[in-house]
């Protein structure tokens, strides 16, 4: 009986082991599918902006002022832009070729910086309607073509105050580039500023018919010095006029940049440009998709033009005189070309109580009373 019971127990255990060994194994729960990482937004390609310069980017004057503006643009917009430039581009068909080369390199915004580049810029704008063009100091424009410049006459007037207070013999000299309204109105403004503090002042003009030619500029400056001028001003792109003044022991007013280190014994101040603010704001509008064609004429109030800090070479009381008129210009209570203004012959060109209109100053072709020189 015990053996039977034991046998039955063994059989039960064997069957139990068999069924246990054959039971299906539990499968692990499937892993949750991985959530894919969000796709990265494609990085926008930087906007390529090209600059066409009449002179060297290191000319110490006009073109260098523009190039400093280009560098400011890069600093402000960072990797949103890539800039490139071509320097020493003549006012000829070479300008159009350079513009097309920049477009071939991917530039969709082009700035040209000299008056004589205007017609070639216009032609390129008509041939490339998808490119945005800007031309400095001209008067033409189109659907994708804007012109830009500024009221340098405001800073010229202040520079005239500086010169009028400094001169000992009431004879100022002006080395001038070309007989175009931009230059003529600058000479007029300088003369009016000088006469506002010294009615006896006269201004002798010597034309070089160049924008950038240090040798010609210096030669023209020496001729003015030989004619008795003891303060020289300029509408030229180098510091040659200032250097000529220093060699003769007299005084000079620069242009475009603060160049006091070029002729420290002669330099008084300079009307200067701050192009960077305009370049950065305009290109930012393009990047933001808010661009529209419009022409721009900046002024002292918005910071495009200014007078460089005066040096210790100026006459006593000059800073106070300049500050007073600058404040009036900025707050709109003084306008440079407000009457009465007479021309060289003594004829009234702007009656008392009247002011020259924008179109009139853009096309001015006469000198104010006190200027000794001809407009050919």
- The arithmetic mean of pLDDT across residues 76-101, rounded, is 97
Residue located via tokens 């006593």 = 316
Q: Is the pLDDT of residue 182 over 60?
A: yes
Q: How confident is the model at residue 41 (pLDDT cuts 50, 70, 90)?
A: low
- Residue-level pLDDT at 289: 96
Task: Kindly report, residue by residue over 246-293, the tens digit of the pLDDT.
Answer: 999 999 999 999 999 999 999 999 999 999 999 999 999 999 999 999
- Residue-level pLDDT at 376: 83
Q: How confident is the model at residue 10 (pLDDT cuts 50, 70, 90)?
A: very low
Task: Kindly report, residue by residue over 75-86, the tens digit of the pLDDT.
Answer: 999 999 999 999
- Residue-level pLDDT at 246: 98
Task: Kindly report, residue by residue over 290-313, the tens digit of the pLDDT.
Answer: 999 999 999 999 999 999 999 999
Question: By the 8 A CB rule, do 251 and 232 touch?
Answer: yes
Q: Is the pLDDT of residue 32 over 80?
A: no
Q: Is the pLDDT of residue 29 over 80?
A: no
Residue 140 has a CB neighbour count (10 Å cut-off) of: 14
Q: How confident is the model at residue 88 (pLDDT cuts 50, 70, 90)?
A: very high
Identical fold for domains 47-150+275-298 and 152-270+308-372, yes or no, is yes
What CATH code would you report for 152-270+308-372? 3.40.50.2300
DSSP label at residue 80: G
Residue-wise DSSP of 86-152: E-S--SSHHHHHHHHHHHHTT-SEEEE-SGGGHHHHHHHHHH-TTSEEEEES----BTTEEEEEE-H
Q: How confident is the model at residue 33 (pLDDT cuts 50, 70, 90)?
A: low
Question: By the 8 A CB rule, do 139 and 76 touch?
Answer: no
Q: How confident is the model at residue 44 (pLDDT cuts 50, 70, 90)?
A: confident
Quote the pTM value: 0.88
| Secondary structure class of 289 (helix, strand, coil) | coil
Q: Is the pLDDT of residue 35 over 60?
A: no
CA dihedral 152, 155, 158, 160 (to 10 degrees): -50
Angle between the N-to-C axes of helices 152-166 and 318-331, in degrees from 0 to 180, rounded to the nearest 10: 160
When comparing pLDDT for 43 and 226, which is higher? Answer: 226
Q: Is the pLDDT of residue 326 over 50?
A: yes
- Percent of residues, the chain, with pLDDT higher than 70: 89
Give me the residue spans of the domains in the chain: 47-150+275-298, 152-270+308-372
- Residue-level pLDDT at 40: 59
Q: How confident is the model at residue 13 (pLDDT cuts 50, 70, 90)?
A: very low
Q: Is the pLDDT of residue 47 over 50?
A: yes
Q: Is the pLDDT of residue 103 over 50?
A: yes
Q: For the chain, what percentages of helix, strand and coil (3-state, to nearest 5) are there? A: 40, 20, 40
- Residue-level pLDDT at 25: 47
- The arithmetic mean of pLDDT across residues 316-320, rounded, is 98
Q: Is the pLDDT of residue 9 over 60?
A: no
Pick from 215-219, 235-239, 343-347: least confident? 235-239
- The arithmetic mean of pLDDT across residues 191-212, rounded, is 97
CATH 3.40.50.2300 matches 47-150+275-298 = yes
- Residue-level pLDDT at 76: 98
- The Cα–Cα gap between 77 and 116 comes to 29
- Residue-level pLDDT at 37: 56
Handedness of CA 142, 146, 152, 154 (dihedral sign): positive
């Amino acid at each position: 009986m015990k053996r039977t019971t034991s046998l039955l127990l063994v059989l039960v255990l064997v069957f139990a082991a068999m069924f246990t060994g054959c039971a299906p194994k539990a499968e692990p729960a499937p892993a949750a599918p991985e959530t894919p990482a969000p796709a990265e937004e494609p990085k926008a390609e930087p906007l390529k902006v090209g600059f066409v310069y009449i002179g060297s980017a290191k000319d110490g004057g006009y073109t260098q002022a523009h190039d400093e503006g280009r560098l400011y643009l890069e600093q402000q917009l960072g990797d949103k832009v890539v800039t490139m430039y071509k320097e020493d581009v003549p006012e000829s068909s070479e300008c159009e070729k350079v513009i097309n080369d920049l477009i071939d390199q991917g530039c969709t915004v082009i700035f040209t910086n000299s008056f004589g580049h205007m017609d070639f810029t216009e032609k390129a704008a008509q041939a490339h309607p998808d490119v945005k063009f800007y031309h400095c100091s001209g008067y033409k424009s189109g659907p994708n073509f804007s012109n830009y410049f500024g009221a340098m006459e405001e800073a010229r007037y202040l520079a005239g105050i500086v010169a009028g207070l400094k001169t000992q013999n009431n004879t100022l000299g002006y080395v001038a580039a070309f007989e175009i309204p931009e230059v003529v109105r600058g000479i007029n403004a300088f003369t009016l500023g000088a006469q506002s503090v010294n009615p006896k002042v006269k201004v002798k003009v010597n034309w070089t018919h160049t924008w950038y030619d240090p040798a010609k500029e210096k030669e023209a400056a020496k001729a003015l010095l030989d004619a008795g001028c003891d303060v020289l001003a300029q509408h030229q792109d180098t510091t040659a006029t200032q250097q000529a003044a220093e060699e003769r022991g007299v005084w000079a007013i620069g242009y475009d940049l603060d160049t006091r280190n070029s002729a420290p014994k002669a330099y008084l101040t300079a009307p200067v440009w701050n192009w960077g603010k305009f370049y950065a704001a305009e290109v930012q509008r393009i990047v933001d998709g808010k661009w529209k064609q419009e022409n721009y004429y900046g002024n002292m109030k918005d910071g495009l033009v200014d007078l460089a800090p005066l040096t210790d070479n100026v006459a006593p009381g000059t800073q106070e005189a300049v500050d007073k008129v600058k404040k009036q210009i900025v707050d709109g209570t003084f306008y440079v070309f407000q009457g009465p203004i007479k021309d060289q012959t003594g004829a009234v060109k702007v009656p008392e109580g009247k002011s020259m209109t924008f179109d009139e100053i853009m096309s001015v072709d006469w000198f104010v009373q006190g200027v000794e020189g001809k407009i050919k």
